[in-house]
Amino acid sequence: MAIAKAERLMNLALCLLGTRRPLSKRELRDSIEAYVEAVRPEKGAAGSEDSFNRMFERDKDDLRELGLVIETVENLDGEVGYLARRDSNRLPPITLDAEEAAALGLAAKVWQQARLAGAASGALQKLRAAGLPEDVDPYEAHGALEPRIPVHEAAFEPLMLACRDRRPVVFEYRKATAAHPEPRHVEPWALECWRGHWYLAGWDRDRGAERVFRLSRITGRVRSRGSGFTAPVPDVVTVRETVASWAGEIADRSALIRLRSGAGYPLRAKARSVRELGDGWDELEIPYGHGLDAWLVEFGPDVVVLEPAELRADVVDRLRAVAKG
């Protein structure tokens, strides 16, 4: 049976952490059983050497992924050696009290995405090894509150890594009203989750402008485009303002509507003023932002738009489409 990958990674990590001098690839290969097994002669000399090299490169990448700083050093004979120096791998002193420990315990379990959930638990375990207090059980501390960060979009992980590593990407994107997706070349800056949906802000190379993308509208795979960023990354990236304006949350105008008494609570909750008309109807002044027409139509015969004329026409237009349907 092949030796489990975790055992192989653990041995490599302990070797690199335990040594004071760089260890050559050959030394590592000869002292880690999983590597010895990978280069067994019966597998064919050339093939096994290749497979060992690939395995070794992947393993180093995996260890770097979990935070290990591995240095590559060339000795006098030109041979390459590896080591993980203590001073570059040591967690600086950190002292957290019981309340802070509980708070981090709550934070560590909010990710619903495998990679980040694993990373958050890993962070907490490292802090635990560094003496994070245990007198409260952080996993039970605030039992009544469960914040969850949902990640349903397949594009999330590749984009997260691309944002982290500042790597340009290309993906097929279907705009809200477009029949077909089209490729977009983007320098990804930041991801933001709002109301349970993920958005990407970045530099759209095709349009030569900053754009916000909704991850659920990305179809197919996100592919890397090797070269670096060409546009400067702004200090502050504001995704939410853009998305909020799409959602009609930013309204600089007002509309006047009639609303049947007792109906349309959310409209009342947002209303700037409400006046009872006494005939089973009320008159409301409400904020008028993007998408208000579609929302008002949902209330069917319980809403009549009075002003402005443009909104009234939009609503009537939508109602006609349904009436004909």
Partner 1 sequence: MAGKPVRPVSAIDQTRRMLSLVTYLRERPGARVADVARAFGITEDELVSDLDVLPMCGTSFRGGDLLDIDTDGERIWWHNPAALGEEAAEPLRLAADEATALLVAARAVATLPGLREGDRQALLRATAKVEAAAGEAAGASARLSVTFESEGGVFADVDRAISERRRLWIRYYSPARDEVTEREIDPIRLVSVGHTYVEAWCRRSEARRTFRLDRVAEIRILDEPAAPPEVELRDLSEALVQPAVEDPEVVVEVGPGGRWVAEYYPHDSADELSDGGLRITLRTPDPASLRRLALRLGRDGRIVSPPELADSARRAAREALAAYDGVEAARDADADGR
Judged by beta carbon, residue 45 or residue 144, the one nearer partner 1 is 144
CB of 210 to partner 1, least distance (A): 15
For 2-49, give the DSSP string: PPPHHHHHHHHHHHHHH-SSPEEHHHHHHHSHHHHHHT-GGG-HHHHH
Tokens matching residue 33:
């059983």
Smallest distance, partner 1 to C-beta of residue 240, A: 7
Segment 33-62, which members bind partner 1 (CB under 8 A)? 33, 62
The answer to whether residue 135 forms part of the interface with partner 1 (CB under 8 A) is: no
Counting residues that bind partner 1 (by CB under 8 A) gives: 129
90 binds partner 1 (CB under 8 A): yes
CA proximity to 186, closest of 196, 165, 200: 200
Q: Which is nearer to partner 1, 177 or 230 (CB)?
A: 177
Distance spanning both ends of the chain, measured CA to CA: 64
Q: What is the Cα–Cα distance from 325 to 315, expressed in whole angstroms?
A: 15
Q: Minimum Å distance from CB 275 to partner 1? A: 17
Contact status: 103 vs partner 1 (CB under 8 A): yes
In angstroms, what is the minimal distance from the CB of 104 to partner 1?
A: 5
In this chain, which stretch among 44-52, 114-122, 203-211, 220-228 interacts with partner 1, using CB under 8 A? Answer: 114-122
Q: Which of residues 257-286 bind partner 1 (CB under 8 A)?
A: 262-266, 269
Q: Which of 18, 47, 220, 234 binds partner 1 (CB under 8 A)?
A: 18
User: Is residue 11 part of the contact set for partner 1 (CB under 8 A)?
Assistant: yes
Distance separating alpha carbons of residues 264 and 289, to the nearest angstrom: 17
Binding positions for partner 1, 197-236, rule CB under 8 A = 197, 216
Q: Which helix H or strand E contains 86, and what residues bound it?
A: helix 86-89
Nearest in space to 214 (alpha carbons), one of 232, 234, 194? 194
Q: Which residues contact 70 (CB under 8 A, 6 or more apart)?
A: 16, 60, 63, 64, 82, 83, 84
Restricting to residues 148-207, which ones interact with partner 1 according to CB under 8 A? 148-150, 160, 163-164, 174, 176-180, 189-197
- The correct pick among 22, 29, 32, 158 for binding partner 1 (CB under 8 A) is 32
Cis before 308 (ω within 30): yes
**321, 313 in Cβ contact below 8 A?**
no
Instruction: Decide if residue 25 touches partner 1 (CB under 8 A).
Output: no
Least distance in angstroms from the C-beta of 44 to partner 1: 26
Segment interacting with partner 1 (CB under 8 A) among 7-15, 43-51, 72-80, 221-229? 7-15
Does 247 interact with partner 1 (rule: CB under 8 A)? Answer: no
Distances (CA, A) of 79 to 23, 75, 250, 288: 10, 5, 62, 70
